[in-house]
Amino acid sequence: MSDVATVPTVEQAVALGLTRDEYALVCDKLGREPNEVELAMFSLLWSEHCAYKHSKKLLRTLPTEGERLVMGPGENAGAVDVGGGWAVAFKVESHNHPSAVEPFQGAATGVGGILRDIFAIGARPIAVLDSLRFGEPTSERSRYLLDRAVAGIGHYGNSVGVPTIGGEVYFEAPYEQNCLINAMALGLGRTSDLVRSAAAGVGNPVILFGASTGRDGIGGASVLASAELDDADDAKRPSVQVGDPFAESKLIECSLELLAAGLLVSLQDLGAAGLTSSASEMASAGEVGIDIDVARVPLREGDMEPFEIMVSESQERMLCVCTVDNAAAVLAVCEKWEVGGTVIGQVTDTRRMRIFNGDQLVGDIPVTALVDDCPLYDLAPQPPSTPLYAAPVATLAAGDDPLLGLIGSPNLSSRRPLFEQYDCIVGSRTVRRPQEADAAVLVLEGGASIGVSIDGNGRRVAADPYTGTVEAVLECAANLACVGAQPLGLTNCLNFGNPEKPHIAWQLTESVRGLGDACRALGVPVVGGNVSLYNEGGEGPIYPTPVVGMVGELLDPRRAAGLGFARDGDAVAVARVGEPSLDCSELAKLRGEPLPDGLAAVDVAAVAALHDAVRGAVRSGALVSCHDVAEGGLAVALAESCLAGGVGATVEVSGGEVELYGEAPGRAFVVSGAREDLERALPSATVIGTVGGEALKIGATSWSLADLRHAHRALESLFP
């Protein structure tokens, strides 16, 4: 290989995120020291963000097989069969660290990146959901991050023409320095037309199309996504990518036209690590080599070095392989859509990634060394000996009304000021909009329909990583049951602190164990996901936050129950298994109580049977409304059903405060309907009252709808 530049030192390798032992292993794999191009490529592909080196062994324990599975882990997105020759692709990913540094672009490009994962397998993006975590909204920093991140999500999704149909947002002190921005996307495609990423065909051209390449995002995967944040965040702003949703819109149409015409062998998006990741992963999947000439790459800045071109994370770019005979047609389609297609390399039989700058060879790495041989680490989990998280600051004084305090609290107040910034109906598929039902509902081609939900509760996982994660899965499945949807597959985003610390390793290990056990009990395969580690600031780690997204099948979208009471005289009933508890509840948080040492075990089989019963009752048309009892307990669920329907209810509830405000996520539902229909379709439910009036009356206590509505709008003060 020709000499290129001064050989970097081991100190430079460490500065790029490699350990000294990893640098020594790189030298061993190459049989020499790496040059700057090769070192940059290794530092990114061997980063936590790309290699999952602290989590991959755990992820292999998750169930990944299912009758309706079309694509599973290892591809850009997973996909499930929804009948009639159609498949729904879906995936969730994080953009936490970039968003903590530059929230607007960090959140916007998170949406753009997850959309590319969807159309990279040949599915048209049809929806986005988001799962967000910030510090308490009394913090100026948290309000800023919230405002700009929501604006970024809305800007990108609205501009590209993909509806944002649901999501969640929570406020907790441990997210103050390290917000979480998780984006989930769904796409629809013909099952027979979905494409994999493996490169194939020696001599086939490799074509880059989309935006030109610049310095934005250089080193993002290693500089941001695999490191703890600190007070020097501002210096990391150049590592945050800049998005252009209008360029992405053209990229979607170009990619789908190329695939529909049968012109491509494989397709891959350029996300973290840019060309380095996309090309080497295509080569690894196809067991081939790839040559790339960086001199051919269209640049936005003319003086970029070869290593910068290889690791740039500029957005809205795709890499494809086609046959020699189809190259001209591919470039013609790229020209039609004005996305600048350029042949930058070819597939080889060398099993090596070779990087050229014109005639000069500037990088030469075995594909297996770069992609497959990154060291995987065994964790050293150890439960913490002392509490990791301080008790929350009490905000509910003795004598305050618990219900009004809860529905006006940051975690339970209306999200209308957020979702009104999103277009939730573009594309004309949305049947149930945000805050109309517990899960979003979309109508697909051929009359099929799906329910979609995304959920997580970091505070409960912090109290008990195993049980808290089981609850997150059950909560997500319960949301689908409320609209009559049967789960088909699950995607996840595991947001944790530094896994090299034993207590964080314990959180991660127990959480993955809970995720696997819950999915096996429900018969739901994990189709793919994302891991985001090192989410820590100077004040400590975030709450361990596994976020799960599910897609479920509906038989009749017209029978998808809303969460609001609707008809005077309807019976109100509760269906549940197990008993609620005030431990780790929202009421406990408002009162400033510390996290408990563990949560009550869950009988998942009994919960699954309850979900089946509720889903069947919804599908039968017997239920007018169905709402799961989640944060804030039964009283909050009743208030939310009253507010959503604009009608009151009168109920009798025994058991005192635990019965009213205790929680058991995923294990209880508030339903309404004609009494005879309800008792026939859901005989396990207990009737507790009747719909009607202008107030919610629980026993001797009454709250007017006007007072409930006023309290519920507390979040609007953050959006003057």
Question: How far, in Å, CA of 418 to CA of 146, rounded?
Answer: 9
Which are the contacts of 683, defined by CB distance < 8 A and separation ≥ 6?
A: none
DSSP label at 369?
I
Question: How far, in Å, CA of 455 to CA of 546, rounded?
Answer: 9
Phi (first) and psi of residue 376, to 5 degrees: -105, 135
Written as one string, the DSSP assignment of 374-416 is: -----------SS-SSPPPPP-S-TTS-HHHHHHTSTTTS--H
| Six-digit token string for 665 | 């996520």
- CA nearest to 46, candidates 205, 256, 206, 273: 273
Asked if 13 and 44 touch (Cβ cutoff 8 Å), the reply is no
Radius of gyration of the chain (CA): 26
Question: How far, in Å, CA of 431 to CA of 424, rounded?
Answer: 10
Which are the contacts of 175, defined by CB distance < 8 A and separation ≥ 6?
A: 133, 134, 135, 142, 458, 542, 543
Question: How far, in Å, CA of 216 to CA of 235, rounded?
Answer: 13
The catalytically annotated residue of 54, 95, 503, 712 is: 95
Q: Tell me whether residue 710 is one of the annotated catalytic residues.
A: no
Question: How far, in Å, CA of 393 to CA of 135, rounded?
Answer: 12
Question: How far, in Å, CA of 101 to CA of 236, rounded?
Answer: 7
Asked if 49 and 221 touch (Cβ cutoff 8 Å), the reply is yes
Residue located via tokens 């150890």: 382
Q: Across the beta sheet with 352-357, what order do the strands follow? A: 266-269, 317-321, 205-210, 342-348, 289-293, 352-357, 360-366
- CA nearest to 615, candidates 606, 626, 599, 624: 626
Phi (first) and psi of residue 358, to 5 degrees: 70, -125
Residue located via tokens 């995720």: 515
Which are the contacts of 399, defined by CB distance < 8 A and separation ≥ 6?
A: none
Cα dihedral 74, 75, 80, 83, rounded to 10, equals -140
Q: Tell me whether residue 95 is one of the annotated catalytic residues.
A: yes
Helices then strands, counting H and E runs in the chain, come out as 25, 28
DSSP label at 611?
H
Phi (first) and psi of residue 80, to 5 degrees: -130, 150
Long-range contacts formed by 279-283: CB under 8 A, 24+ apart: 279/206, 279/319, 279/345, 279/353, 280/41, 280/45, 280/353, 280/367, 280/370, 280/371, 281/197, 281/371, 282/197, 282/198, 282/199, 282/319, 282/321, 283/199, 283/347, 283/351, 283/353, 283/367, 283/371
Q: Which residues are catalytic?
A: 49, 95
